[in-house]
């Protein structure tokens, strides 16, 4: 089977299947995706579809969401971190008495955390 286009739904389903089975943690799956990408990139013309798939998995695993509060007096305080926006939204919805916000973060190529825009 050839994969011509990889959807976010396919990537999310793959990550959920692998991590919810208990065999892989997100960190271990990220390490495995990095190793696989290193191997596949040795012959990029032969592995284009797989490189695309594992690149999207890597990008998804390097992203997380933080729920935080923000006040003039106290500044910002992270309350909780989540793997998906849906989990963060659910937490915010279940805590309406708090003034909560959500930020999306990712690890960049230099290994630093950077805030990214939520689409």
pLDDT tens digit string along 64-100?
A: 999 999 888 888 899 999 998 999 999 999 999 999 9
Average pLDDT in the 1-7 region? 66
Decide: pTM greater than 0.75. no
Distance between CA 82 and CA 65 in Å, rounded? 5
pLDDT tens profile 56-72: 999 999 999 999 998 88
What stretches of 23-113 show up as alpha helix (H) in DSSP?
A: 26-40, 48-61, 85-94
Judge residue 88's burial from the number of C-beta atoms within 10 Å of its C-beta, 0-12 exposed, 13-18 middle, 19 or more buried: buried
């Amino acid at each position: 089977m050839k994969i011509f286009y990889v959807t976010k739904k396919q990537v999310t389903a793959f990550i959920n299947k692998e991590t919810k089975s208990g065999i892989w943690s997100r960190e271990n799956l990220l390490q495995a995706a990095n190793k696989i990408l290193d191997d596949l990139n040795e012959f990029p013309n032969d592995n284009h579809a797989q490189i695309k798939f594992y690149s999207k998995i890597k990008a998804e695993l390097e992203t997380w969401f933080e729920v935080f509060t923000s006040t003039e007096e106290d500044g910002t305080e992270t309350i909780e971190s989540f793997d998906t926006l849906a989990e963060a939204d659910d937490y915010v919805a279940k805590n309406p008495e708090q003034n909560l916000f959500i930020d999306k973060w990712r690890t960049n190529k230099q290994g630093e955390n950077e805030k990214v825009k939520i689409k």
